[in-house]
Amino acid sequence: MEQHELIPNLFRNEYRKIVCVLCRLFGIAHVETAEDIVSDTFLAATEIWSARGVPENPTAWLYTVAKNKTKNYLKRDSLFQQKLSPELQYQAEKMEEFELDLSIKNIGDSQLAMIFTICNPQISTESQVALALNLLCGFGIQEIADAYLTNKEVIYKRLKRAKDRLKAVNMKIEQPGLTEISLRMDTVLTTLYLLFSEGYYSTAQNTTLRKDFCAEAMRLVYLLADQETTNLPEVNALLSLMCFHVSRFDTRATPEGEAILYGDQDESLWNQELIAQGKYYLGLSASGSRLTKYHLEAGIAYWHTHKADTTEKWQQILQLYNNLLVLEYSPIVALNRMFALAKVEGKVTAIAEAEKLKLTGNHFYYSLLGNLYTDVDDALALQHYKQALLLASSDADQLIISRHIRHLNG
């Protein structure tokens, strides 16, 4: 790997690890100090490697420099020392005994502790996702801004508010106990679900960035599944859902960014290894007595890995959607259910149900009606697609709606 590719790649993978270890060591009040030490480490790497070449083991080099910079910081900043825990103060005073623990186990424990710290109801959901992207996944402010289709200043302020709030409530970064896991797991999974959705359903045109978001969300859920205390059925259900969705990622759009509808996707390009993993984790999720939305959505995603247009498939999907709406009603879920309803009970029945939703500010609503009215009343279908085109904001959505309009115009 070339140096210009190596450093960004290492930054993404190692920045988050070292920051989590330092944050756990110093406390959330000193998150900026942790970030400064790690940023200085990578700045040194950029300068020294440019002059002398990349070392044989770049990761070990980074860890050694991070350890030394942490030790030097503690040595020269006595005021900072006074703000630390008594245990760390003692280590800082006996500098020759201090050693920053960057073992695989401590990195994993620190990341797990950070997940439960960041996924805190004291801060907004969007701030939780932004913090997770920044501290747990190593994404820069510009990358997060690109994903949200906004500017760096907006993301910077969002991150600062979230950090300030965590400091204000003096949130401790520590391994979650069983009670904490029970109380906080729903929030944790919601954050990771939204992080994944930010990549999978993003309107950003940067496909690489979107894939990276999905990969990071999956990595964090894998981290939960890998720990005995957090390996819960709902965790496995979410992991299963992600596997099924990502298995079809490369067939959802053309190289130019135009969306490919499910029925037009090339099944031979679906990732069978990920589908197999999805089935495995779906099986694990069946233990226990609690049914979550992740179980039901994973079931829907599972049936979408069967391309054959069978009655059984759509009946299963429709039943899963029915259960999902009872468990946790969502207008978007109600909208998506209409495709399955049309397959099972026909377009006329689906039209009657869909029009009751009255989601008149949503372009997906009019796209759905356009689809359902096609071959039933093409003039009305065209009218709905035109309204959808007026409301659609992304290029990808506008392209696919325009294609439907051209087809109806014959």
Contact call for residues 31 and 23 (beta carbons, < 8 A): yes
Sequence ranges of the domains in the chain: 1-102, 104-231, 335-410
Report the distance separating Cα 367 and Cα 390, nearest Å: 11
Is residue 83 very low, low, confident or very high in pLDDT (cuts 50, 70, 90)? low
> Would the pLDDT of 182 be above 70?
yes
Name which of 235, 234, 304, 230 is nearest 274 in CA terms: 304
Q: What is the mean pLDDT of the chain?
A: 89
Spatial CB neighbours of 245, under 8 Å, sequence gap ≥ 6: 196, 200, 214, 301
pTM: predicted TM-score of the whole model, two decimal places:
0.87
Output the pLDDT for position 213. Answer: 86
Tokens of 250: 């490369």
Output the pLDDT for position 407. Answer: 93
What mean pLDDT do residues 360-389 have?
Answer: 96
pLDDT tens-digit readout, 283-297: 999 998 899 999 999
pLDDT tens-digit readout, 14-46: 999 999 999 998 888 889 999 999 999 999 999
Range 335-410 has CATH code 1.20.58.340:
no
Three-state secondary structure string covering 344-382: HHCHHHHHHHHHCCCCCCCHHHHHHHHHHHCCCCHHHHH
Beta bridge partners of 79: none
Percentages (nearest 5) of helix, strand, coil residues in the chain: 75, 0, 25
pLDDT tens-digit readout, 264-314: 899 999 999 999 999 999 999 999 889 999 999 999 999 999 998 999 999
Beta bridge partners of 253: 259
Output the pLDDT for position 1. Answer: 52
The residue length of the chain stands at: 410
